[in-house]
Structure 1
Amino acid sequence: MTETKHLDEEFIETEERLTEKLEGQRTLDESSWQHWLIMIIAFMWSAYQIYVVVVPTNSVFVRTFHLAFALSLAFAMYPMFRTKKTMTTIPWYNFLLGPLAVMGALYIFANYDALNARSGAWSHLDVAMGLGTIFLLLKAARRTLGMALPVIAVIFMAYDYLGPYMPDLIAHKGASINKIVGQMYLTTEGIFGVPLGVSASYVFLFVLFGALLERAGAGKYFIDLSYALLGRYDGGPAKASVAASGMMGIISGSSIANTVTTGTFTIPLMKKLGFPGHKAAAVEVAASTNGQLMPPIMGAAAFIIAEFLGLNYTDVIMAAAIPAFVSYFALFYIVHLEAKKLGLKGEDPSKLDKAFTVFKSGIHYIVPIFFLMYTLIVLRQSPQMAAFNAIGFMMLIMVVQRPVYAYLEGRKLDASVFMSGFADIGHGMVNGARNMVPIAIATAVAGIVVGSVTLTGIGLVLAEVIEELSGGYIVAVLFFTAIVSLVLGMGLPTTANYIVMASLTAPIIMTLAGDLGYIIPAIAAHLFVFYFGILADDTPPVGMAAYAAAGIAKSDPIKTGLQGFAYDIRTAILPFAFFFNNKLLLIAGVDALDPNNPSLWQWITNPVEIALIFFTAAAGMFAFSSATQGWVIRQTTMLERVLLLAVVPFMLVPNMTSEWFMLGDEYLSYVVGFILYAAVYIMQKSKIKKITIGI
């Protein structure tokens, strides 16, 4: 047991270092004062976020301190240019830029009353501080997130200013520098708006909970449990990768972190089993990016969706549940098909740990997750309070688990054993803050885009453009939106991509759908753009998760990304399905006069109906996966592929097919779909039987 715990600690530390490297963070000597400076600031940030839950504080003040901490860590953790020297030490100029950025963020806090008193009549100092802070924020974003998001923010601000000089189709009266700075910096319409507010109020606590759970050893436990359960089956390590990534997705808001945590273990095992390097990496990429679909965190987007739409947070995660689980079950099936095609068997059961033994060894990691879900869904606590209570529960477990292990092993219970749990809590709080830096910076910069949309009303212009391009066809509207989300998402983190698309195109989808006679709940449009933003994480040439997995597998990142996208193409049809069939989101009906009002939506609560929706959707996704992979129980013919593709609409959009084919009932659509699926299976079985008889 002692050796196992030592290996767990080694795994955690290796994963943390690899994540830092792949995300472009500095790797400082752990004994240096610069390393400890970052540790102290990160710990103070986590402590502050816990403090403001206990002591109610003005939300604007919380946002300013939240951004101040993020900016200070961004300049300390991420280099301007990645050279050997700047990756191992913090150059002197960062000790100038960091404090200046912090001063800019805290200027709102220090002058809050005065700014409210002169609202709209900004002083020269206000504008100068705004310009400087926006500049430093964009520099921090370039370091942490790459060029894409800062460039998009600059384009939107340029559009705000140069409106009169734009082509007639997108021209507007323009805005002065003072007005732009006021909108973006001095009010809560831009940088300090809703996205940053959600990051400060909810997202940080959930990310901190995940970091504590990971530091306690949950990541290694999830991998071990998945491997013990699934390792013996065909393609076992790949199936274990999918399961472990799904479990990690519950607590992780980053596809890269998810890839690194599970991929360092599962990718070598898949290669050893016989998976080609690029396919082993692609399986991990597909599983890890889909981890952001998994409630309750959903890559931090769940909280922002709830805030934008005025929904209860629990309603968002309930609506997202069926598509997320259907997507994961379909990925399991794809891995199974790949293993069958390659003739790969599972691991020798005698070499695997007993699943129940592994499960018992880490059940204390599962209890806090169920506690969190219970307080959210059953007790209906606010996300902030539920996460706070879960963090307290997790800290208690971290303090207790080391002495318990020592007692069970018969080791001496000295002070170091008791203090090690507190050390783990400290590391978890530091890791939580470090993990939050890209999210906080992304939400702040995305606020600039949101502020620009509000300032200029560009959404109305885009609606006209997309309506013209689509020719009045709703599928074309959705297709154009999907392409834009994919393209933007190649360079944006998922959360920022969702915020940008939710501000620009989600309202357009709602408006044009209504004009074309489709009355849909607002959450369908928002989840639509969210899904395609996630798919961008493995879309070449910029898919960062694909680069992370390829680095572990030593495979070609472009080839890995293409293969990962091929696996994830099943996910691309889900948004189209739940757009036309809202029952996949557990919504039975929407008020035609006010589809944006959640209180008027009719939610599905019948367990039997929910089970039917899930199983039929899974069958449709399995059929689509078999059609794209060219395999059921043997290689498919062209006719069989056509029949499999025909199954998909009968299962995923029965409301549409029952109308198209005049079936009169959605249940008849399911029956037709199952008959077609069964026909393909019987055809394949008969061919195998003939081959066997021939032999």
Structure 2
Amino acid sequence: MQGANHLELNNNQKKLLEKLDNESRFRSFDNRLLVLLVTIIAVSFSLYHLITAYTGTPVPVLVHRAIHVAVVLVLVFLLFPPTKKARRDRLPWYDMVLAVLSVPSMIYLFVNYEEIVTRGGLPNTNDIIFGTLLILLVFEAGRRVTGWALPLLAFLFLLYALFGRDLPGIFQHRGFEWTQMTNQLFMTTEGIFGTAIGVSATYIILFILFGAFLQKSGMGQLFNDLALAITGKGKGGPAKVSVVASGFLGSINGSAIANVVTTGAFTIPLMKKIGYNKNFAGAVESSASVGGQILPPIMGAAAFIMAETLGVPYTDIVLIAILPALLFYIGILTQVHLRASKDNLSGLPRHELPKLKNVLKERGHLLLPIFFLIYMLFFSGTTIIYSAFWTIIVTIIISFLRKSTRMGIKDIIDALESGARNTVSVAVACATVGIIVGVASLTGFGLNLANAIVAIGGESLFLTLLFTMVACIVLGMGMPSIPAYIITATMAAPALVQLGIEPIVAHLFVFYFGIFANITPPVALAAFAAAGVSGGTPMKTGFIALKLAAAGFIVPFMFVYNNDLLLMGTTFLESILVIITAVTGILMIGIAAEGFLFERLNIILGILMAGGALLFLHPELYTDALAIAILVTVSLIQWGKRKRNMRVRNNKQITAT
């Protein structure tokens, strides 16, 4: 990253990232021709999507998505080795063969599109051959890029489609032949070329490209310097820097593990330097990085899929997600601050911190593309795709305002290539999850699972929410956030909708718990990555991250019970009241989780605080009043205890002198 020396990874950190994040395990060729080949394909891929964002796609939707998938598969087999131990400096002949085989299915759809549409779901032998080839390639690409979990789940769904007639109970269906499966997955927009790939081929790649251009111009440096200048001097400053910087970067790049290793390489040593425990330091970084994916405006690209799935404007998703995301970060900042108070940790010395004025003077102009994007999305009346295209152009132009951020031709080519490379992992996950969604749609599995969840929960909304939460965490373990959301939205969200919850609320609920699987032991990949950077214990780091993210586990229940928390249809005064009570509740959760206010809390006061926070789940005047009474009472008790302890300490000092 240009001008961001403290964000460059050393070899150990690169190895850690590659160990825990399959998406970062690229080949690095010695052969210049292969390097040039990958660059040409990646840059052409990015340019194709930029051009079609401006002019519109010249081919039918199915063919456009097929082009997207074909090029992504080619890049997978060129860039990703088949195993962790395979050499990365050369390209085996069989991977070149697989790369070549990735193209024919797309060409077949392009050439025979009208005939396929005319046949209307009656595949011939060629359809089955090319469809089977594509399905096999998607499985192998998914295994290389995302690991075993997602392809294995997709394979189980295929078996379910083929042999579900033999299952007992509600999950039994009439069964489907392979001919019907290939038609569903290959020749329609209900399978591999479904909504997920549609969003990847339109919105996601453009916003990944936007992030690549921002990073190339030095945005990572700006976020870190801004966070240092604003929060670095305060109590526990480096931890607050970690929370703020990781939140901003996580929203743009969408990869919790990559964010942990890159930002954490800078922030975790600073946290340890001022006295934070290494496990706590790693937990702060991992919980803040995961939370970036619920933070508008980009939300790690999941907001686009949510909008497309629900058929609502993207701006609606962003607006309802703002307050819950801020509450999540307030919860982390509260615990970080209280831990610093409890352990008497100071911030960084002023002379080690950049001045806000200087930061804004040197790189502040890099914020202009973000403001431009917000204007385009919310006020211009243009489409998301068109807005993204012009924001990328504006980013390039604005980078020329300062020599330190100026992008030359090489930088632009690097950004185009980086954007394509980073899109590969998302697109492969979307294609693989398309198999799952296609089978679920064909067999009615999602509805059956929703019925099962509702049946287990009975008529209790709370129990249904609890079972849905557990299902989402289990489904999200070991998976990137986007496929985790798509799977949970397909399998779990319908259960909540059946109980009368608004679809947009249900989807946001499952999205939260799908991504929090990344910090939920035993499969807490983001926490494990942070432990690798901090030198801490992975499981301890995971459980501390879980505690720091406590607000994130409470907030979804809060907005289900009280939709006003999403600021849906509320008046200005109602919104102010909701914000005040919600923030108060989150502060109480932080106090209870950390066991400290002005002094250490005993068990009884801690339970009172936690109980008071939970009272805000039920949006009634008397419960809010009771919760505030608990907060005031505990605060007065703590303040009195602090005054007494200060007198005791002062008396001891006087006696000692």
TM bracket (short chain): over 0.9
Shift of 1:12: 5.3
- Distance change in 2, residues 1:616/1:422 (3 Å): farther
Inter-partner Cα distance in structure 2 for 1:27 and 1:175: 39
Inter-partner Cα distance in structure 2 for 1:68 and 1:310: 27
In the alignment, does 2:519 pair up with 1:554?
no
Shift of 1:20: 5.9
- Structure 2 equivalent of residue 613 of structure 1: 578
- Distance change in 2, residues 1:6/1:158 (3 Å): closer
- Structure 1 equivalent of residue 164 of structure 2: 163
Inter-partner Cα distance in structure 2 for 1:222 and 1:31: 36
3-state SS of 2:478 partner: coil
Shift of 1:489: 0.8
In the alignment, does 2:439 pair up with 1:452?
yes
Inter-partner Cα distance in structure 2 for 1:293 and 1:240: 18
Higher relative contact order (CA 8 A, sep 6+): 2
**Which of the residues 516, 523, 529 maps onto 2:504?**
523
Shift of 1:499: 0.7
Inter-partner Cα distance in structure 2 for 1:555 and 1:650: 36
- Distance change in 2, residues 1:13/1:372 (3 Å): farther
Inter-partner Cα distance in structure 2 for 1:97 and 1:544: 30
Inter-partner Cα distance in structure 1 for 2:138 and 2:94: 16
3-state SS of 2:121 partner: coil
Inter-partner Cα distance in structure 1 for 2:424 and 2:539: 28
- Structure 2 equivalent of residue 23 of structure 1: 21
- TM-score for both structures, normalised by structure 1: 0.89
- Structure 1 equivalent of residue 257 of structure 2: 256
**Which of the residues 503, 508, 511 maps onto 2:495?**
508
Is the 1:21–1:27 Cα contact (8 Å) retained in structure 2?
Answer: no
3-state SS of 1:344 partner: coil
Is the 1:28–1:34 Cα contact (8 Å) retained in structure 2?
Answer: no
- Structure 2 equivalent of residue 464 of structure 1: 451
Inter-partner Cα distance in structure 2 for 1:510 and 1:11: 43
The letter for the 1-side match of 2:80 is: Y
Is the 2:63–2:106 Cα contact (8 Å) retained in structure 1?
Answer: no
Inter-partner Cα distance in structure 1 for 2:272 and 2:40: 40
- Structure 1 equivalent of residue 556 of structure 2: 575
In the alignment, does 2:144 pair up with 1:143?
yes
Shift of 1:401: 3.2
- Structure 1 equivalent of residue 67 of structure 2: 65
Inter-partner Cα distance in structure 2 for 1:116 and 1:223: 52
CA RMSD between the two structures: 2.1
- Distance change in 2, residues 1:299/1:152 (3 Å): same
Inter-partner Cα distance in structure 2 for 1:10 and 1:46: 29
Decide which moves more: 39-48 or 186-195: 39-48
Q: Please show how residues 396-435 of structure 1 align to structure 2 within 5 Å.
A: 396-402=397-403, 405=404, 421-435=408-422
The letter for the 2-side match of 1:682 is: L
Shift of 1:7: 4.7
- TM-score for both structures, normalised by structure 2: 0.94
Write the deviation string for residues 193-228 of structure 1: whole angstroms up to 9, x where unpaired: 111101111111111101110111100111111112
Decide which moves more: 425-434 or 553-562: 553-562
Decide which moves more: 393-402 or 335-344: 393-402
- Structure 2 equivalent of residue 441 of structure 1: 428
- Structure 2 equivalent of residue 593 of structure 1: none
- Structure 2 equivalent of residue 412 of structure 1: none
Shift of 1:455: 0.6
Inter-partner Cα distance in structure 2 for 1:276 and 1:9: 25
Shift of 1:574: 1.0
The letter for the 1-side match of 2:577 is: L
Inter-partner Cα distance in structure 1 for 2:5 and 2:37: 23
- Structure 1 equivalent of residue 655 of structure 2: none
Is the 1:184–1:190 Cα contact (8 Å) retained in structure 2?
Answer: yes
3-state SS of 1:162 partner: helix
- Distance change in 2, residues 1:475/1:6 (3 Å): closer
Inter-partner Cα distance in structure 2 for 1:31 and 1:549: 34
Decide which moves more: 187-196 or 269-278: 269-278
Decide which moves more: 609-618 or 208-217: 609-618
Q: Please show how residues 226-305 of structure 1 align to structure 2 within 5 Å.
A: 226-305=227-306
Structure 1: 5+ residue stretches without partners: 407-417, 515-519, 588-602, 659-665
- Structure 2 equivalent of residue 52 of structure 1: 52
The letter for the 1-side match of 2:33 is: W
- Distance change in 2, residues 1:30/1:610 (3 Å): farther
Shift of 1:97: 0.8
- Structure 1 equivalent of residue 470 of structure 2: 483
Shift of 1:642: 2.5
Write the deviation string for residues 640-693 of structure 1: whole angstroms up to 9, x where unpaired: 113212321343432xxx2xxxxxxx3x54443323212111110101112223
Shift of 1:548: 2.2
- Structure 1 equivalent of residue 480 of structure 2: 493
- Distance change in 2, residues 1:652/1:363 (3 Å): farther
The letter for the 2-side match of 1:8 is: A
Is the 2:2–2:216 Cα contact (8 Å) retained in structure 1?
Answer: no
Q: Please show how residues 306-455 of structure 1 align to structure 2 within 5 Å.
A: 306-402=307-403, 405=404, 421-455=408-442
Inter-partner Cα distance in structure 1 for 2:111 and 2:579: 52
Inter-partner Cα distance in structure 2 for 1:690 and 1:13: 49
In the alignment, does 2:208 pair up with 1:207?
yes
- Structure 1 equivalent of residue 515 of structure 2: 534
Q: Please show how residues 537-686 of structure 1 align to structure 2 within 5 Å.
A: 537-587=518-568, 603-604=569-570, 606-654=571-619, 658=620, 666=621, 669-686=623-640
- Distance change in 2, residues 1:464/1:641 (3 Å): same
The alignment of Structure 1 onto Structure 2 pairs a total of residues equal to: 643
Shift of 1:389: 1.2
Is the 1:277–1:554 Cα contact (8 Å) retained in structure 2?
Answer: yes
Inter-partner Cα distance in structure 1 for 2:184 and 2:528: 37
3-state SS of 2:36 partner: helix
Inter-partner Cα distance in structure 1 for 2:225 and 2:168: 59
Is the 2:450–2:493 Cα contact (8 Å) retained in structure 1?
Answer: no
Shift of 1:437: 0.9
Inter-partner Cα distance in structure 2 for 1:159 and 1:26: 33
Is the 2:161–2:443 Cα contact (8 Å) retained in structure 1?
Answer: yes
- Distance change in 2, residues 1:370/1:437 (3 Å): same
Is the 1:208–1:433 Cα contact (8 Å) retained in structure 2?
Answer: yes
The letter for the 2-side match of 1:81 is: T
3-state SS of 1:207 partner: helix
- Distance change in 2, residues 1:362/1:618 (3 Å): same
Is the 1:258–1:291 Cα contact (8 Å) retained in structure 2?
Answer: no
In the alignment, does 2:8 pair up with 1:8?
no
Inter-partner Cα distance in structure 2 for 1:100 and 1:538: 38
Inter-partner Cα distance in structure 2 for 1:20 and 1:424: 24
Is the 1:399–1:422 Cα contact (8 Å) retained in structure 2?
Answer: no
The letter for the 1-side match of 2:422 is: N
Is the 1:160–1:452 Cα contact (8 Å) retained in structure 2?
Answer: yes
**Which of the residues 79, 82, 106 maps onto 1:80?**
82
Write the deviation string for residues 483-540 of structure 1: whole angstroms up to 9, x where unpaired: 11111111211110111111111112111x13xxxxx321111011100011011122
- Distance change in 2, residues 1:424/1:13 (3 Å): farther
The letter for the 1-side match of 2:594 is: Q
Inter-partner Cα distance in structure 1 for 2:564 and 2:125: 54
Structure 1 vs Structure 2: percent identity of aligned residues? 38
The letter for the 2-side match of 1:259 is: V
Is the 1:274–1:344 Cα contact (8 Å) retained in structure 2?
Answer: yes
The letter for the 1-side match of 2:584 is: A
Inter-partner Cα distance in structure 2 for 1:684 and 1:400: 53
- Distance change in 2, residues 1:174/1:490 (3 Å): same
- Structure 2 equivalent of residue 38 of structure 1: 38
Shift of 1:29: 4.6
